[in-house]
Chain A
Amino acid sequence: MKDFTAYLNETEEIGFVEQVADAIIHVSGLPKAKPDEIVVFETGEFGQVFSVQPSYVEILVFSKKQVKPGIRVTRTNEVLKVPVGYELLGRVIDPLGKSISGIKPLKTPSEKRPIDTPAAGIVKRRSVTKPFETGILLVDLAIPLGHGQRELIVGDRKTGKTSFLTRTILNQTRRGNICVYAAIGKKKLDVKKIEEFFAQNGVLDKMVILASSSEDSTGVIYLTPYTAMTISEYFRDEGKDVLLVLDDLSSHARFYREISLLGKRFPGRNSYPSDIFYTHARLMERAGNFITEKGEASITCLTVAEATQGDLSGYIETNLMSMTDGHLYFDKDLFYLGRRPAINPFLSVTRVGRQTQTQLRRDINREIMSFLSLYEKMQSFIHFGAELNESVKATLATGEMIIHFFNQAINEVVPINLQIMAFSMLWSNLWRGHDTAVIRKQLHQILEAYNSDKKFREKIDKLAESDSFNKLLRVLKVEGPQIIKAVSQKYGN
Chain B
Amino acid sequence: MDNTLILNDILGDIKTVAELDNFLAEIENVLAGLFKVKNKSIEEILDKAAGKSTAEEIKKLIENNKINPSDYSSVEKLLNNLKEALKKIQIIKISLAVDPSEEMTGHIFDWVKENMGDGIILDIDKDESILGGAIISFNGTYKDLSLRRTLEEIFQTKKREIMNFAK
Which residues of B have CB within 8 Å of A74? Answer: 142
* Closest chain B residue to A57, Cβ basis: B140
Contact with A along B135-157 (1 / 0, CB 8 A): 00101111110000100000000
Residue in contact with B139 in the complex, picked from A8, A11, A29, CB distance below 8 Å: A29
Interface residues of B in 117-149 (CB under 8 A from A): 137, 139-144, 149
Of the stretches A12-20, A163-171, A344-352, A369-377, the one at the interface is A12-20
Contact with B along A1-37 (1 / 0, CB 8 A): 0000000110111110000000000001111000000
Which residues of A have CB within 8 Å of B144? Answer: 8-9, 12
Residue contact B142 to A8, C-beta cutoff 8 Å: yes
Which residues of A have CB within 8 Å of B142? Answer: 8, 11-14, 74
Which residues of B have CB within 8 Å of A11? Answer: 142
Report Cα–Cα, A31/B139, bound state, in Å.
8
Shortest Cβ distance from residue A207 to the other chain B in the assembled complex, whole angstroms: 44
Shortest Cβ distance from residue A264 to the other chain B in the assembled complex, whole angstroms: 21
Report Cα–Cα, A131/B137, bound state, in Å.
61
Interface residue tally on A, bucketed by range: 10 to 19
A-B contacts counted at CB < 8 A amount to 26
Report Cα–Cα, A9/B150, bound state, in Å.
12
Residue in A11, A12, A14 with the greatest tally of chain B CB atoms within 10 Å? A14
* Closest chain A residue to B142, Cβ basis: A14
Shortest Cβ distance from residue B75 to the other chain A in the assembled complex, whole angstroms: 30
Residue contact A14 to B140, C-beta cutoff 8 Å: yes
Shortest Cβ distance from residue B38 to the other chain A in the assembled complex, whole angstroms: 39
Which residues of B have CB within 8 Å of A13? Answer: 140-142
Interface residues of A in 28-57 (CB under 8 A from B): 28-31
Shortest Cβ distance from residue A9 to the other chain B in the assembled complex, whole angstroms: 6
Residue contact A12 to B141, C-beta cutoff 8 Å: yes
Residue contact B140 to A31, C-beta cutoff 8 Å: yes
Which residues of A have CB within 8 Å of B149? Answer: 9
Shortest Cβ distance from residue A425 to the other chain B in the assembled complex, whole angstroms: 75
Interface residues of B in 84-101 (CB under 8 A from A): none
Which residues of A have CB within 8 Å of B137? Answer: 14, 29
Which residues of B have CB within 8 Å of A8? Answer: 142, 144
Report Cα–Cα, A41/B165, bound state, in Å.
39
Report Cα–Cα, A441/B143, bound state, in Å.
79
Residue in B137, B139, B142, B143 with the greatest tally of chain A CB atoms within 10 Å? B142
Residue contact B139 to A12, C-beta cutoff 8 Å: no
Interface residues of B in 5-47 (CB under 8 A from A): none
Report Cα–Cα, A9/B140, bound state, in Å.
13
Given known contacts A8-B142, A14-B140, A31-B139, what 18 new A-B pairs fall within 8 Å (CB)? A8-B144, A11-B142, A12-B141, A12-B142, A12-B143, A12-B144, A13-B140, A13-B141, A14-B137, A15-B140, A28-B140, A29-B137, A29-B139, A29-B140, A30-B140, A31-B140, A31-B141, A74-B142
The 8 A-B pairs of least Cβ separation, nearest first, read A29-B140, A14-B142, A31-B140, A14-B137, A12-B142, A30-B140, A13-B140, A9-B144
Ordered by A's residue number, 6 sampled pairs between the chains whose C-beta atoms are within 8 Å are A8-B142, A12-B141, A13-B142, A14-B141, A15-B140, A29-B140
